[in-house]
Structure 1
Amino acid sequence: MSRSGPGASGKGMATPPVTATPEHILHRLEWHVIRRLDGLLQGDYRTLFYGYGVDLADLREYQPGDDIRYIDWNVTARMDTPYVRQYTEDRELTAWFLLDLSPSMDFGTLERQKRAILIDFVATVARLLTRHGNRVGAILYGDRVRQVIPARGGRIQVLRLLHELLRQPKLPRAPFTELAQLLNSGLNTIKRRSLLFVVSDFISAPGWERPLKLLSRRHEVLAIRLWDPRERELPDVGLVVMEDAETGEQLLVDTGDRRFREAYAELAQRREVELAEAFKRAGVDPLSLSTEEDLVRAIVRFASLRKQRRKLGAAG
């Protein structure tokens, strides 16, 4: 459960308010993020997008070391032995962004809320994909699934995604975020095997793990988990009014109480462990992205981790 508290200055590249125009945001990212990524990744975006955009070529029996995400469960059930799918790569990749725009995504400092980081991340990755001839689409969730943007290519499509994201209102407090609705919409909408980015803070009512796991069986799924440092550790600033980011419930607390701060941090750490285990069970790669982290460094770090995982998989 996210709590709002005193603000703090963000670090790294400043993110303008989301009232900026789509063209302005994309131009800024092309110059200050994508150009840096080109230099650091040296065009090797396969370390980030490896294994995606593929068509089924054949089936064979499972062998030790195979990626369990490629197990064909229907064939396995019929044959009574595990079978895995083999794929040939397409020239064209289709990617989808499943985007959580629920009330807790508006937490953060004035110019570095989780929503603003979401917009920067989506625009950056969408442009990296579309400039190489790939297609991108999106499903937008607030208090319900509000919009499905069909997958298309080109810079114009990135601008359309930005336009639709910027026009999404900040929602009044709701009893619970139902992230499962977003994930189930992905299951029902996306038929062809694709690359999926689930972008959320994963502050949600229970029930989202199962559809996430089902998605990972059909698609390559990356979980982009957004968070703010104040959700993990409270500063000592005396009496503050804390507000639940989902329900609006308020509570006066004394952040000068060391035991309260320790209990808060312990609860946050427990949630980190639970989320990591949930992503592992679902078979998805998570990227933890802070509102105070430089976006370029975060993406390069993620690409490096995926490259290591690919090498380990090949060695196995």
Structure 2
Amino acid sequence: MLPSTIIKKIRRIQIHTTRIVDELLAGQWDSAFRGSGIEFEEVRPYQFGDDVRAIDWNVTARTGRPFIKLFKEEREMSVMLLVDQSASQGMGSHWQTKREQVTELSATLAFSAIKGNDRVGLTLFTDGIEKFVPPRKGTRHVLRLIRELLYCDPMGHGTSLTKVLDHLNRTMARRTVVFLISDFQDTGYEKSLKVARRKHDIIPVVVADQREMKMPNVGLVRLRDAETGQMITFDTFSRANRRAYEEHAKRRMEQRDTLFRKLNLDPIHLYTGEDFVEPLQRFFHRRENHR
């Protein structure tokens, strides 16, 4: 049986995120995503004016006449939430940590999906796969996902985007809408992201804390890397040190965003202590206008 504290948290998140979906995101999910999934239906002979990119070359070679593939929109989609549970998610210089914001965001996306009659699943990851819940429908299923997010006691501390993307490609055979929710404090995942991008609709959600971008002048401080445990003493009195810290953070951000542009991905950027609804609405509007 769940502790009363967890039950209360689940109930609070359900009430809060359901209100967001009903009052602030009403209709935007369908406008942004409906019809984005397609599946093969049949082939027919090529007709003048048809898109040559739709030609089925295997059937064409076999029959000696050009045929094209016909597709139909899927009536429902599968949505996967890939949620970072690494130690750096405990960072939060405001009233909430990255993990707390990610939990509420994930719940909002999950309730949006089932309101649109879509299936939603969850993969929790660190430097390994912590939990995999296949996509299903229904409010009870979403409440289970929230429980998994709140209850997760990860074995790993680091972040491996490569492992979670490879796991996605192994477990999800059909095209899936994927929200990759992380602070992206990792390297070497470009190849896996490229492969996943060809097969699935990948939406990066970058969750950060302003303190990761800018260091205040507070004297000598001891800093610990949450994922590696490494400790250093940092002199924030030094303007050169603060500038080096900020330039390093800026380079890492630029490299990440350059990769997203290269793969034609449209990320959502969130910061702890700030409302995530407005960035989500802007993303839905961009998505709808693009379609």
Q: Shared fold by TM > 0.5?
A: yes
- Which residue matches 1:210? 191
Letter in 1 for 2:219: G
- Which residue matches 1:277? 258
Q: 1:252 aligns with which of 229, 233, 254?
A: 233
**Superposed displacement of residue 187, structure 1:** 0.5
RMSD value, Cα:
2.8
CA contact (8 A) 1:201 1:227 kept: yes
Secondary structure of 1:294's match? coil
Cα distance in 1 between the residues matched to 2:154 and 2:135: 25
- Which residue matches 2:120? 136
- Which residue matches 1:116? 100
Cα distance, 1:86–1:230 mapped onto 2, change above 3 Å: farther
- Which residue matches 1:148? 132
Please tell me whether residue 88 in structure 1 is matched to residue 72 in structure 2: yes
Cα distance, 1:137–1:230 mapped onto 2, change above 3 Å: same
Q: 2:169 aligns with which of 173, 187, 204?
A: 187
Please tell me whether residue 35 in structure 1 is matched to residue 19 in structure 2: yes
Cα distance, 1:50–1:240 mapped onto 2, change above 3 Å: farther
**Superposed displacement of residue 52, structure 1:** 3.0
- Which residue matches 1:158? 142
**Superposed displacement of residue 229, structure 1:** 0.5
CA contact (8 A) 1:197 1:224 kept: yes
**Superposed displacement of residue 208, structure 1:** 1.1
CA contact (8 A) 2:111 2:139 kept: yes
Structure 2: unaligned runs, 5 residues or longer: 44-50, 62-67
- Which residue matches 1:309? 290
- Which residue matches 2:86? 102
Q: 1:200 aligns with which of 160, 174, 182?
A: 182
**Superposed displacement of residue 277, structure 1:** 1.0
Secondary structure of 1:276's match? helix
CA contact (8 A) 1:127 1:158 kept: yes
Q: 2:52 aligns with which of 61, 75, 86?
A: 61
Cα distance in 1 between the residues matched to 2:100 and 2:247: 27
Letter in 2 for 1:95: V
Cα distance, 1:188–1:260 mapped onto 2, change above 3 Å: same
CA contact (8 A) 1:131 1:155 kept: no
Higher relative contact order (CA closer than 8 Å, sequence separation 6+): 1
Letter in 2 for 1:154: G
Please tell me whether residue 219 in structure 1 is matched to residue 210 in structure 2: no
User: What is the percent sequence identity of the aligned residues?
Assistant: 33
Letter in 1 for 2:135: A
Structure 1: unaligned runs, 5 residues or longer: 1-18, 64-71, 79-83, 311-316
> For 1:11-45, what per-residue CA distance to the aligned partner results, in whole angstroms no more than 9, with x for missing partners?
xxxxxxxx952x54454345444434544444232
**Superposed displacement of residue 230, structure 1:** 0.6
CA contact (8 A) 1:216 1:283 kept: no
Cα distance, 1:242–1:211 mapped onto 2, change above 3 Å: same
**Superposed displacement of residue 292, structure 1:** 2.2
**Superposed displacement of residue 167, structure 1:** 1.8
- Which residue matches 2:48? none
TM-score under structure 2 length normalisation: 0.83
Please tell me whether residue 239 in structure 1 is matched to residue 225 in structure 2: no
CA contact (8 A) 2:17 2:111 kept: no
Secondary structure of 2:227's match? coil
Size of the alignment, in residue pairs? Answer: 272
